[in-house]
Amino acid sequence: MTKSLTIRRPDDWHLHLRDGDMLRAVLPHTAAHFARAIIMPNLVPPVVTGAQAAAYRDRIMAALPRDADFTPLMTLYLTEDTDPADVAAAHAAGLIHAVKLYPAGATTNSASGVANFDNVSKTLAKMAEIGLPLCTHGEVTDPSVDIFDREAVFIDRVLDPIRRSHPDLRVVMEHITTSDAVDYVKSSTANLAATITTHHLVINRNHILAGGIKPHYYCLPVAKRESHRLALRAAATSGDARFFLGTDSAPHTDANKLLPCGCAGCFTATNTMSILAEVFEQDGALDQLEAFTSLNGPGYYGLPVNDATLTLTRQAPSYPPHIDTPDGPVTVFDPDMPLNWSVA
């Protein structure tokens, strides 16, 4: 039985840090284990220009613990008014590493997102020209489409037409939740990859709804049926370089989660690596953990693999049930299973 596992230090290719007091409270939990992270731009107001991305990066760096070694990889929020020249300049300066597409109204702070995709065609063309990835929140917001079908419909109605119109555009399907998305990535010949969250490897929709509503398992995209969860696990543990970790760790205070209309998001930054080690061991794939967390993402984004390492030991970890913030407690994701791996 393996008692310890040392891997290259991991990265998180989809992370919400928020701002202000919340940023200062949650950032140390990511920086403790992860060397880099793709930072989501859906603040209020959103990060839509290079200047705003630079200012946000400065606030993140100011919030880092003094001894932390962490690099935020900034993104811009795509709107119908995004200036392609500003995107290109921010990319050329090494400031941004992706642009994020939110369909308007799809998730937290997405009201400024895209409603008419024809209006972003020039920006997408410029991104394809300069090799800048588009990260997608892959759900349609058509109220006639069932919430459990919105990812599959997004592929057909939005993503596939975008990729046909811009074949050189590099795309990351973020936080995929269905076998449809897994199959779509596998069928692609070039330029397409996907992130998978920690929580979608662990929970299905029963965790949210069976035996009473459990708001701390509610996220967007919402967890799907068990067959989809198993497809995600097979993809994550396969070693396929097109799949890599993006936690989508999304902090909300308990007061904002436990409402008649509560916020979507699971806060997993604290215990992700212990959970992933458990998942990969359960599936007989501990030897693929490093690829999923530390190798595949840098490979897709064209960045070097981290020199530093992280060691996991076979020892039951102890994590707090919540973290304290000035605005109130944030519940740490409960994987609903015993954990047997700790970060040394």
Residue-by-residue pLDDT tens, the chain, 344 positions: 889 999 999 999 999 999 999 999 999 999 999 999 999 999 999 999 999 999 999 999 999 999 999 999 999 999 999 999 999 999 999 999 999 999 887 676 667 788 888 999 999 999 999 999 999 999 999 999 999 999 999 999 999 999 999 999 999 999 999 999 999 999 998 899 999 999 999 999 999 999 999 999 999 999 999 999 999 999 999 999 999 999 999 999 999 999 999 999 999 999 999 999 999 999 999 999 999 999 999 999 999 999 999 999 999 999 999 999 999 999 999 999 999 999 99
Contact 125, 100 (CB under 8 A): no
How many alpha carbons lie under 13 Å from residue 221 in its C-beta half-sphere?
A: 34
Q: Is 219 helix (H, G, I), strand (E, B) or coil?
A: coil
Query: Which structural domain range is residue 233 located in?
Result: 4-343
Q: Which residue has the tokens 């007061």?
A: 255
* 0.95 surpassed by pTM: yes
Q: Tell me whether strands 309-314 and 341-343 are parallel, antiparallel or unpaired.
A: antiparallel
Q: What is the pLDDT of residue 190?
A: 87
Contact by Cβ (8 Å): 77, 57: no
Catalytic sites, residue numbers: 248
Of the candidates 54, 51, 107, 115, the one whose C-alpha atom is nearest the C-alpha of residue 81 is 115
Question: How many distinct structural domains can be found in the chain?
Answer: 1
- The CATH number of residue 111's host domain is 3.20.20.140
Give the strands of the sheet with 243-245, arranged side by side: 12-15, 36-39, 71-77, 96-101, 134-137, 171-174, 192-196, 243-245
- Cα 230 to chain centroid distance, Å, stands at 19
